[in-house]
Amino acid sequence: MVSLCLTPQSNFSFPRPIPTTAIFSGDRAVRKPFIRAAVSKSTADVAAVVSGESQLLSQPPQISPPPNPALRRVSPASLQYENGYLGAVPDRSNAGDGDGGMTAMRYLTNILASKVYDVAIETPLQYAKKLSERLGTNFWLKREDLQHVFSFKIRGAYNMMAKLPKEQLERGVICSSAGNHAQGVAFAAQRLGCNAVVAMPITTPEIKWRSVERLGATVVLVGDSYDEAQEYAITRAGQEGLTFIPPFDHPDVIIGQGTVGMEIVRQMKGPFHAVFVPVGGGGLIAGIAAYIKRVSPEVKIIGVEPSDANAMALSLHHGERIMLDQVGGFADGVAVKVVGEETFRLCKELIDGVVLVSRDAICASIKDMFEEKRSILEPAGALALAGAKLIASTMD
C-alpha cells in the first residue's frame, strides 16, 4: 500500500472555493474538483508470495445468505462521473453534533496511543519527482507496500487483537479476507502467540493463501465470494468461541489504520493540501480522516474507488449504506459490496468526496509507480495514485 500526499507548486492557491456547478450524468450530480495540488493518498499493496498446500473443506460448510439483506441494492453504473471530478461529496447540512459512536477526539487519542509499532514499521513518505514534474503538482507516496506483510492491514488487525483480553486471545481468532487482511491477522496472531483461522473464498489465488498459511494460520477455502467466506467465519466464531476480527468495520481496526494518517502529518515537512486514500470498506480512509481532520482540518481527505466498485461513493450519494448488486474485481483489495457501518458514519462526517477511476487509469498508475520507484503495486495499491493524478491533471 502506498499513501500519496500532494503539495502545491509555487503558484498553488488553496483552499479554493468548491464550485457549485453540478454536472449530471444519469441521476447523479458531480462537482468539479476543488483541489489544486496536494493530496495524500494511500495504498499500494504488493501481491503476497509463497507456496504451500490448500486446505479445501472436504465437507461444504453451511453458508448463510449474504449479510445486510435489508440494504438497498444498487448498480455501480448508477453513479458515474467524468474523470477528474470529485463526487459523492457528503451532505452535512443536517449533521448534528452528537454521535452514536466513538467521538472523534477518542479516535485521535487512541491513534496516538496505538501499539501498532510492536509489529508495523513507520513506512517512508517519498517524494515522487517524475510525477511531480510531469503534472506540476508535488506528489508524495506513503509506502505502505513496504510493511512486512506488504500492506497497512497489519496495523488495524494488530491494534484490535493486542487489546483482546488474554482468555479471549487464548481461544483464538478468525477472520475472512481475500488477501491483505488475512496476512495482517496471521502475522499479528503469530506475534501474539494465538491461533488464527482465516476463511478465504475458493477463488483466492494460491499465492495469497499460501502466504497466510506460512504465517502459521489455518486457512479454510470456502465460498465463491468474500461475503460467503465472511458468513462462514462469523458462524464458526459463534460456534467455537473464536473472536472475529473484521477487515474494516471496528473502531480498533480503524484506529490502527489511523496511524497512517498520524505518520503522514509527522512526515510532511511543509503544508499539504489533500490526501488521496483508496477505499474498500472504508477502514483506512476513516482512520486517516479521524486523525488528520482533528489536527489539520484544512487538509482535504479524498477517497478513491474503481468506477465498478464504488460502494462508498454510492452510499454517500444516497445518504445511507447501499449494497452493490455486483462489484468489479480487478482491484480485488477494494472489491467490497457494502461499506462498514462505523466507517460510513465517519466518512459522512469527515471526508471531502470520492474520485472514481477506470481500470485503465489504475493500470497507468501501476506503470507510473514502476517508472518512479521501480516498484510494482497490486491494483488496489495503485488506486490512490490514479485518483490523485486525475484531480491534478484537471486543475488549471
Ligand X SMILES: Cc1ncc(COP(=O)(O)O)c(C=O)c1O
Residues that bind ligand X (CB under 6 A): 1, 43, 45, 151, 153, 180-181, 247-248, 257, 278-284, 333-334, 380-381
Coil, strand or helix: which one is 148? coil
The DSSP string of 280-336 is SSSHHHHHHHHHHHHH-TTSEEEEEEETTS-HHHHHHHHTS-EEESS---SSGGG--
> Would you say 223 or 282 has its CB closer to ligand X?
282
> Would you say 43 or 123 has its CB closer to ligand X?
43
Least spacing, CB of residue 76 vs ligand X, in Å: 16
The half-sphere exposure of 380 on its side-chain side, counting CA atoms within 13 A, is 29
> Would you say 36 or 321 has its CB closer to ligand X?
321
Which residues fall within 8 angstroms of residue 385, CB to CB, at 6 or more apart?
A: 2, 4, 41, 44, 131, 139, 141, 276, 365, 368, 369
Task: Give the C-alpha distances (Å, rounded to integers) separating 362 from 75, 278, 307, 367.
Answer: 21, 11, 11, 9
Q: Tell me, what amino acid is at 74? A: V
Least spacing, CB of residue 1 vs ligand X, in Å: 4
Whether the CB-CB separation of 211 and 183 falls below 8 Å is answered with yes
Least spacing, CB of residue 78 vs ligand X, in Å: 21
CA atoms of 49 and 55, how far apart (whole Å): 17
> Would you say 36 or 155 has its CB closer to ligand X?
155
Least spacing, CB of residue 104 vs ligand X, in Å: 18
Q: Tell me, what amino acid is at 351? A: I
Helices (H), the chain: 104-112, 129-135, 153-162, 166-171, 180-192, 206-214, 226-240, 251-267, 283-295, 311-318, 341-350, 359-373, 379-393
Least spacing, CB of residue 303 vs ligand X, in Å: 8
Task: Give the C-alpha distances (Å, rounded to integers) separating 105 from 112, 239, 289.
Answer: 11, 36, 12
> Would you say 323 or 380 has its CB closer to ligand X?
380
What is the layout of strands, in order, in the sheet containing 196-200? 218-221, 196-200, 173-176, 243-244
> Would you say 76 or 280 has its CB closer to ligand X?
280
Least spacing, CB of residue 279 vs ligand X, in Å: 5
> Would you say 7 or 180 has its CB closer to ligand X?
180
Least spacing, CB of residue 327 vs ligand X, in Å: 13
> Would you say 139 or 248 has its CB closer to ligand X?
248
Least spacing, CB of residue 43 vs ligand X, in Å: 4
